[in-house]
Structure 1
Amino acid sequence: MSRQGVTLIGLGPMGQAMVRALLAAGHPVTVWNRTPGKADGLVAEGAVRAATVADALAANELVVLSLTDYAAMYAVLEPAAAALDGRVVVNLSSDTPEQARAGAEWAARHGARYLTGGVQVPARLIGQPGSATFYSGPEDVFEAHRATLEVLTEADHRGADPGLSQVYYQALMTVFWTTMTAHLQAQALVGAHGVTAAEYLPYAVQAAETAAYFLPGIAKDVEAGRYPGDEGTLAMCAASAEHALHAARDAGLDTTVPAALAALFGRGVAEGHGAESFTSLVEVLRKPAA
């Protein structure tokens, strides 16, 4: 059975991993990159190098973008916009939900059907079990190309709104980068007191597992808009955050992260949430800082 041809534009580590996964599954792949030399290894493995962006778009109905952001999409595609007519563009570049919606409108004006996506794994996990990507946009377009997209990762369609994939993706990136930065701060603190990273690691893993235990309760409170404070109040949490800040300062560490946390907790208390649960901070986060 012949496999669907795919054009892939953008050959950074993620794009290259996607090309290799598609080739391994038997899909003909046409590639283009602003630095042509990045395609050399892929061409040796069976990909076809397009001479121009217009040629790349003309080669296949399904066009996958793996670019830095939406500004890069416009820079690459606008000179060849006439070639978008009749194409299905799957933009896996990271950006804001608003940019994703604007990109979908731009593509539609040029006759293309459009899906946005947020890849949840690093390049080395493309094509591996358990990897996943959020998609949004027209469901019929998604279903028509789902089998090909699932060569890359599992495909999770979140709705017709083209911005939704980036809503989910950026939400997870907020969790990921905040969590990983917090762990670096913790490593700096224990290291300042002579504790090695290896010694601390089991406790870091335990902390991550404990945080996961609390997530259903957090979701319940936020959904209900009720923050009972029956298992601890925000005022208590604010005191704890201050202690973490002082520990970092006393150790001679950078205090950007703990200071930001202590300031946020303090705002929550100042705005009248001191007797409520930690989860009441969502009400503070729902509006810009004064």
Structure 2
Amino acid sequence: MTVSTQTTVTVLGLGAMGRSLAAAFVAAGHPTTVWNRSPGKDADLVARGATSAATVEEAVRASTLVVACLFDHGSVHEVLDSVGEWPADHALVNLTSTEPAGARELAEWAAGLGIPYLDGGIMATPAMIGRPGSALLYSGSSAVFQTYRETLEILGTAEYFGSDAGRASVVDFALLSGMYVMFAGYYHGAAMVRDIGMSAEEFSNRAASWLAAVLPSLPAAGAQIDTGDYSEVLQPLTFTKAALDAIVSASRDAGVDLDIIGPVRDLVDRQIAAGHGAQSSERAFESLNPRPRTAA
């Protein structure tokens, strides 16, 4: 069974993301209750039709689907530990950015109180919620996911990663790590071209086009990493080292610190030092995760 158009929804936490989540539920016609620790953030939502709750307990009791979008793992406890007996059949979906261990701890805490629990990661900015490109990753209670999937898909595409409540968080943070490192690489490049008078904005246009052109190669790199066989070489580690050494030299000449590019070079250097210089550059992955592989 799925619950859709008449699902009552509560959103706890009205930061930029929480307000966007609540606005999407209101716009879709769901009776929506909102609550925030500090007052004054719900006026616009109430004007659109949401109901403001005076207390957390009132907010939790108002809806069968309770969505928490708070600051961190600790704030989830700070808010929800104050709730008395949790209403029967009211589900908790935690969309707070919570590390995997925190998600699993919250799942155990919820199980001890009889609270159906689903953890989630939001792969979107607040402005993207409810629009194409917004994606949310979930793990934890399959029953909660299946029951409320149609409602949750108002926010963005919904994908379920299994009963381990920490799995969605792992994928979420892994994807975010790729994003942050990509932006950090852009910052490094922008710092380099500043030395020749190029603006960061001009460089960003060039970087966006270049990255879009090379990103389609990621699936092939992933397939090679999964096999652990780096003998089929597109670009050997020795070539990549030469390129990175040149970038390091050019960075120094431009007065740019090596906080970003230096560790990348170190990953490659470790593999070459271990005798793998002729193998494919994707082998640098093994410097990050050198654990023995298990048979499929």
TM-score range, shorter chain: over 0.9
**8 A contact 1:84–1:107 mirrored in 2:** no
**8 A contact 2:140–2:162 mirrored in 1:** yes
RMSD of the alignment, in Å? 1.8
**8 A contact 1:87–1:111 mirrored in 2:** no
Structure 2 equivalent of residue 47 of structure 1: 50
Structure 2 equivalent of residue 120 of structure 1: 123
**What amino acid sits opposite 2:68 in the alignment?**
L
Aligned ranges 1:117-196 → 2 under 5 Å: 117-196=120-199
| Partner-residue secondary structure (3-state), 1:82 | coil
**8 A contact 2:124–2:133 mirrored in 1:** no
**What amino acid sits opposite 1:34 in the alignment?**
R
When residues 234 and 123 of structure 1 are mapped into structure 2, their CA distance, relative to the original with a 3 A threshold, is same
Distance 1:260 1:65 in 2: 37
**8 A contact 1:9–1:64 mirrored in 2:** yes
| Partner-residue secondary structure (3-state), 2:11 | strand
For structure 2, the residue ranges without an aligned partner over 5 or more in a row are 292-296
Residues 133-181 of structure 1: per-residue CA shift (max 9 Å, x gap): 1111222221110111111111111222211111111111011000011
Distance 2:80 2:199 in 1: 49
Comparing 85-94 with 197-206, which one deviates more in the overlay? Answer: 197-206
Aligned with 2:273 (options 250, 270, 273): 270
Distance 1:233 1:81 in 2: 61
**TM-score, length basis structure 1:** 0.93
**TM-score, length basis structure 2:** 0.91
**8 A contact 2:5–2:151 mirrored in 1:** no
Distance 1:39 1:198 in 2: 36
Distance 1:113 1:220 in 2: 37
Structure 2 equivalent of residue 260 of structure 1: 263
Distance 2:283 2:289 in 1: 11
Residues 20-77 of structure 1: per-residue CA shift (max 9 Å, x gap): 1111111111111111222222222221111111111111111001112211101111
Distance 1:156 1:141 in 2: 13
| Partner-residue secondary structure (3-state), 1:90 | strand
The 4+ residue runs of structure 1 with deviation greater than 6 A are none
Distance 1:230 1:31 in 2: 55
For structure 1, the residue ranges without an aligned partner over 5 or more in a row are none
Structure 1 equivalent of residue 90 of structure 2: 87
Deviation for aligned residue 1:205: 2.3
Deviation for aligned residue 1:85: 4.8
Aligned with 1:28 (options 20, 28, 31): 31
Distance 1:3 1:120 in 2: 26
**What amino acid sits opposite 2:14 in the alignment?**
L
Distance 1:239 1:75 in 2: 52
**8 A contact 1:84–1:110 mirrored in 2:** no
State the identity %: 37
When residues 236 and 38 of structure 1 are mapped into structure 2, their CA distance, relative to the original with a 3 A threshold, is same
Distance 1:164 1:233 in 2: 33
Aligned with 2:241 (options 238, 243, 246): 238
Residues 261-286 of structure 1: per-residue CA shift (max 9 Å, x gap): 22222222223332221111121101
Distance 2:100 2:274 in 1: 29
**What amino acid sits opposite 2:70 in the alignment?**
L
Does residue 102 of the first structure (1) align with residue 143 of the second (2)?
Answer: no
**Alignment: residue pair count:** 288
